[in-house]
Structure 1
């Protein structure tokens, strides 16, 4: 059974590639005596002579040439891989895989991603907009954006914005007589997958009420944009994120129902793997996103 190491083979290949023991010892950072001893150990272990030695030059034996052809390519490949990994760590280039909820991605992140791509032309983004909680590591995701469900083992979570859900309807909807969420049963409703029950808290009294919209559900959707369209079309009352509702309320397209009631604050967060060496391209997008949310009031 052979007892040599990959280092012994690497030393042998380095001597051949550089053409001398001296150059190889300098490149490898080992003494000449250590280098010579390692190669002799390799030959003794193989019971083969790999090098012809004289005072002027180093040449290969026939078997040494076979070894060098095979292992020289191996160490060249390793060197290329190491260089590629170094480039990924230090240069702003390569691919970043991202996932985000559909409407949140469109509403909050589109300007960030487009601005980032213009600033770093060698970086590419692969964006998966989905409302499904995918397995981030299995899908090879570098950065995930999530509303709620923002804590994962081994992932760092950075809060970007706090949001609330509020009750809204078309301004023509006769809902002004409502005084409590329990009265919602008699009104037409639009519900969105993942946003039930309607968890509400009174901002004046701190009373909490969990409303399950089971009665008079006219429309059930799985995407916030469709829910917004349905509310604007006067289909019914719904429970909608405030960042969607507020501009429409100001424009007179929606009206808030039970304005003293809203959900508790929910965190919109950015997640990335907790590892010591994040590729530079990923770190740049993380920093760019944090600066953007710090500098902008996104509504």
Structure 2
């Protein structure tokens, strides 16, 4: 059996099409298809359904892929990481994170990691959409909220606290709200992905609020600028508005109701042997979040 054909089969499935795999392998897609057919003939089973619309595996193909793919990943990692293990950590890390979370918090950690490990390069993809991690070749992803990704490990980092806030000029004009329902009388700035505001009062009672938006946003820093400009009221993470609240450019509304925070998680592929560069990055981020928790506990 030509074991290189096994590798080609894994690549085709990983990339989702003959064309994408052929491009990465720098070979004609017709040659790649022929090599997969040779593998099927050697095995005596059809592995892939051939369709112009979508690549899919047969039952035999799915079983064969589950057996082969982890072996090839571990062999590839062992081969590529050997020099780094013996000398110094090196290689490329592809990371994705929400735009504002990276710009306001994570980027400083990324830069510090790069200073500590000068031979590890970072390819940073910032997006407020949940991109397809496997298809994009992501090593590490930062996600806000619940995580449901098969075959990926999720590590809790911290809970992002929120503040209901407005500009002093807006409140001077409209006065302070006294109940959650009164927020309907104010212009609202809402997130497209999280339009519902959730609160807990001092007695532990939960409240949900959904209002009509004056402004809908995808990017948090722009929303914070709109709040400061007096456009409306918003419920935003403290890593975005904390400094503006401290300096008085924004003020907190309804302090007796605490907005529900959201979990920030780090996710990475589940595998027995992580590449050194990935393991170092994970340990570094976990150490940084532990430092932050100690600082917050002391304040």
Please list, as runs of the form range in 1=range in 2, the aligned pairs for 1:122-133 lying within 5 A after superposition.
122-133=119-130
Residue 88 of structure 1: how far off its partner (Å): 5.7
2:220 is matched with which residue: 198, 206, 224?
A: 224
Does 1:103 pair with 2:100?
yes
8 Å CA contact 2:146–2:263 kept in 1: the answer is no
8 Å CA contact 1:167–1:256 kept in 2: the answer is yes
Residue 279 of structure 1: how far off its partner (Å): 0.5
Scaled by the length of structure 1, what TM-score is found? 0.68
8 Å CA contact 1:189–1:237 kept in 2: the answer is yes
8 Å CA contact 2:92–2:121 kept in 1: the answer is yes
2-structure distance, mates of 1:199, 1:241: 13
CA displacement 1:243-271 (0-9 Å, x = unmatched):
22222111011001111223323211111
8 Å CA contact 2:139–2:269 kept in 1: the answer is yes
Corresponding pairs, count: 221
2-structure distance, mates of 1:131, 1:159: 19
2:208 is matched with which residue: 188, 207, 210?
A: 210
Alignment RMSD (CA, Å): 2.5
8 Å CA contact 1:164–1:262 kept in 2: the answer is no
**2:187 counterpart residue number:** 188
CA displacement 1:127-167 (0-9 Å, x = unmatched):
10000011111111110011103342222211111122221
8 Å CA contact 2:105–2:239 kept in 1: the answer is no
Please list, as runs of the form range in 1=range in 2, the aligned pairs for 1:41-190 lying within 5 A after superposition.
83-87=79-83, 91-174=88-171, 176-190=175-189
2-structure distance, mates of 1:150, 1:220: 24
Residue 82 of structure 1: how far off its partner (Å): 6.5
Does 1:266 pair with 2:265?
no
SS, match of residue 125 in structure 1:
strand
**Runs of at least 5 residues in structure 1 that lack an aligned partner in the other structure:** 7-78
1-structure distance, mates of 2:233, 2:2: 72
2-structure distance, mates of 1:262, 1:224: 19
Instruction: Pick the structure with more helix per residue.
Output: 2
SS, match of residue 172 in structure 1:
helix
1-structure distance, mates of 2:127, 2:160: 19
The runs of 4+ residues in structure 1 deviating greater than 6 Å are 79-82
1-structure distance, mates of 2:131, 2:76: 33
Residue 80 of structure 1: how far off its partner (Å): 10
